[in-house]
């Protein structure tokens, strides 16, 4: 199979991921729940991966790295915690439902939010839209680093500066940027949380994610329970990472995530994003040779990550994806769990999305274009 659905999950992983997970399954028990060798091996591995994640994202204290089930889990902790007493939030026009659904749910508790809509691939327009949407009662701003639909890299650094100037915490959804774009908690000033999945650009397994915290904030946890610490106290711990890590951790998944982070650290994010941009640029060039094809891509590659949406006039995105699937080419069609992004960009009928990883090559793009050229006229 030619796999071009890496924005959903990276199917091909570095070899070290499966090796690390297998070792954990065979040799590691429950971290923090015993002094025997298998429990200690597990605790050591978990802390080791915290350190690796802290190094990747420039976090001074590894204990500010919280392991979650995925980015959605991390976003729910951050969003619901920040809006626990109501207040107003501002989000970009390109957010995933992992952001918008928790916000919608918090309306029941007196919270509100504004979508700062802006033109696609227009970062200055985005900053202006955020500035207009921020109000006196705004308690947080939430922004995706990269649109999961269009690969649009939003102006995160400029938005962070705006939030810092106004004293408003920023929550970053790094679901599509983590692992391929540099992201430094040390350089960001207003970012209170960075939320990332383990199973996409970090090349870890499904069921892993990160909530990266700036401070040991006293927001309420989403889940409470056993942490292996302060067991005589009925209250949930008020320190990181225990405050947000109740129950048994996914040690095999965390071990695999650590191997994925090792792989990224070895290559460097610059090499990864350069490779992905080369493939996306090539894909757009080849797709534009097909009659009726339209690619949603920036002419400025500095604004483009390894995701490309396209449509073909007269064909539904689902039909195009079906045709490609019959040729054993995996893409995604539809709204991509981000209806607001399509509304903002004017693609309400959805798109076909291709998304690449470091393991894809130009021959994968050639196969996709050939499969479509068999059905559509070439210019």
DSSP state letter for 325:
H
The secondary structure element, H or E, covering residue 46 is helix 37-56
DSSP β-bridge partners for residue 146:
153
Question: Quick one: pLDDT at residue 379?
Answer: 57
Question: Quick one: pLDDT at residue 374?
Answer: 74
Same domain, 123 and 226: yes
pLDDT tens for 289-311 read 999 999 999 999 999 999 999 99
Pairing of strands 329-330, 2-3: parallel
Question: Quick one: pLDDT at residue 35?
Answer: 85
Nearest 10 degrees: CA dihedral of 370, 350, 116, 173?
-60
210: left (phi over 0), alpha (psi -120 to 50) or beta: beta
Q: Is the pLDDT assigned to residue 174 strictly greater than 80? A: yes
Last residue of a domain, one of 267, 292, 307: 267
209: left (phi over 0), alpha (psi -120 to 50) or beta: beta
Average pLDDT of every residue of the chain? 96
Same domain, 207 and 161: yes
pLDDT tens for 258-275 read 999 999 999 999 999 999
Same domain, 263 and 172: yes
Question: Quick one: pLDDT at residue 32?
Answer: 80
Phi and psi torsions of 213, nearest 5°:
-110, 140
Nearest C-alpha neighbor of 176 from the set 268, 330, 307, 349: 307
- The pLDDT of 315-335, averaged and rounded, is 97
Q: What is the pTM of this model?
A: 0.96
Same domain, 91 and 211: yes
The token duo for 344 is 């903002």
Same domain, 289 and 324: yes
Question: Quick one: pLDDT at residue 332?
Answer: 98
- The pLDDT of 328-356, averaged and rounded, is 97
Domain extent at residue 313: 2-10+268-373
Question: Quick one: pLDDT at residue 95?
Answer: 98
Residues listed for the chain: 379
Same domain, 247 and 277: no
Pairing of strands 65-68, 209-213: antiparallel
pLDDT tens for 104-121 read 999 999 999 999 999 999
Last residue of a domain, one of 233, 267, 301: 267
Contacts of 137 (CB under 8 A, 6+ apart): 87, 88
- The pLDDT of 230-255, averaged and rounded, is 93
Between CA 310 and CA 370 the distance in angstroms is: 15
Same domain, 175 and 275: no
Question: Quick one: pLDDT at residue 377?
Answer: 57
User: How many structural domains is the chain composed of?
Assistant: 2
Q: Reduce the DSSP state of residue 337 to 3 states and report it.
A: coil
Nearest C-alpha neighbor of 42 from the set 60, 64, 67: 67
Question: Quick one: pLDDT at residue 215?
Answer: 86
Question: Quick one: pLDDT at residue 378?
Answer: 60
Question: Quick one: pLDDT at residue 205?
Answer: 98
For residue 279, being part of any structural domain is answered with yes
Same domain, 209 and 281: no
The token duo for 212 is 């990266």
Last residue of a domain, one of 267, 293, 323: 267
Contacts of 98 (CB under 8 A, 6+ apart): 71, 72, 75, 76, 173, 175, 337
For residue 379, being part of any structural domain is answered with no
Share of the chain above pLDDT 70, in %: 99
Same domain, 260 and 336: no
pLDDT tens for 193-242 read 999 999 999 999 999 999 999 986 789 999 999 998 888 899 988 999 99
Same domain, 253 and 325: no
DSSP β-bridge partners for residue 333:
352
Sheet with strand 332-334: strands edge to edge: 293-296, 307-312, 351-355, 332-334
The secondary structure element, H or E, covering residue 41 is helix 37-56
Same domain, 275 and 257: no
Q: Is 245 exposed, middle or buried (0-12, 13-18, 19+ CB in 10 A)?
A: buried
CATH of the domain at 34: 3.40.640.10
pLDDT tens for 38-86 read 999 999 999 999 999 999 999 999 999 999 999 999 999 999 999 999 9
CATH of the domain at 285: 3.90.1150.10
312: left (phi over 0), alpha (psi -120 to 50) or beta: beta
For residue 378, being part of any structural domain is answered with no
Same domain, 154 and 202: yes
Residue matched to tokens 């007493």: 85
């Amino acid at each position: 199979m030619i796999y071009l659905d890496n924005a959903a999950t990276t199917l091909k992983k570095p070899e070290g991921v499966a090796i690390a997970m297998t070792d954990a399954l065979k040799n590691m028990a429950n971290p923090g729940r015993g002094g025997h060798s298998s429990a200690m091996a597990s605790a050591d591995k978990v802390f080791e991966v915290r350190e690796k994640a802290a190094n990747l994202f420039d976090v001074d204290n590894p204990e500010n790295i919280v392991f979650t089930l995925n980015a959605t889990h991390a976003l729910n902790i951050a969003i619901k915690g920040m809006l626990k007493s109501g207040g107003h939030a501002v989000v970009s026009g390109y957010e995933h439902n992992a952001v918008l659904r928790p916000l919608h749910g918090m309306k029941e508790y007196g919270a509100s939010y504004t979508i700062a809509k802006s033109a696609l691939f227009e970062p200055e327009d985005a900053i202006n839209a955020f500035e207009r949407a921020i109000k006196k009662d705004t308690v947080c701003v939430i922004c995706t680093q990269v649109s999961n639909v269009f690969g649009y890299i939003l102006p995160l650094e400029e938005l962070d500066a705006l939030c810092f100037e106004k004293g408003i915490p920023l929550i970053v959804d790094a679901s599509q940027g983590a692992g391929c774009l540099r992201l430094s908690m040390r350089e960001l000033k207003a970012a209170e949380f960075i939320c990332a999945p383990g199973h996409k650009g970090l090349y870890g397994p499904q069921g892993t994610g990160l909530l990266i915290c700036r401070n040991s904030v006293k927001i309420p946890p989403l889940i409470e329970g056993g942490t292996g610490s302060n067991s005589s106290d009925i209250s949930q711990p008020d320190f990181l990472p225990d405050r947000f890590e109740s129950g048994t951790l996914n040690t095999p998944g965390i071990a695999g995530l650590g191997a994925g982070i090792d792989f990224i650290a070895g290559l460097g994010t610059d090499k990864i994003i350069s490779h992905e941009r080369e493939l996306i640029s090539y894909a757009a060039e080849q797709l534009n040779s097909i009659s009726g094809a339209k690619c949603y891509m920036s002419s400025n590659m500095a604004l483009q990550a390894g995701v490309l949406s396209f449509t073909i006039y007269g064909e539904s995105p689902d039909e195009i994806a079906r045709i490609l699937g019959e040729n054993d080419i995996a893409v995604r069609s539809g709204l991509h769990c981000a209806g607001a992004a399509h509304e903002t960009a004017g693609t309400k009928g959805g798109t076909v999305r291709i998304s690449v990883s470091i393991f894809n090559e130009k021959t994968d793009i050639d196969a996709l274009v050939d499969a479509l050229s068999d059905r559509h006229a070439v210019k």
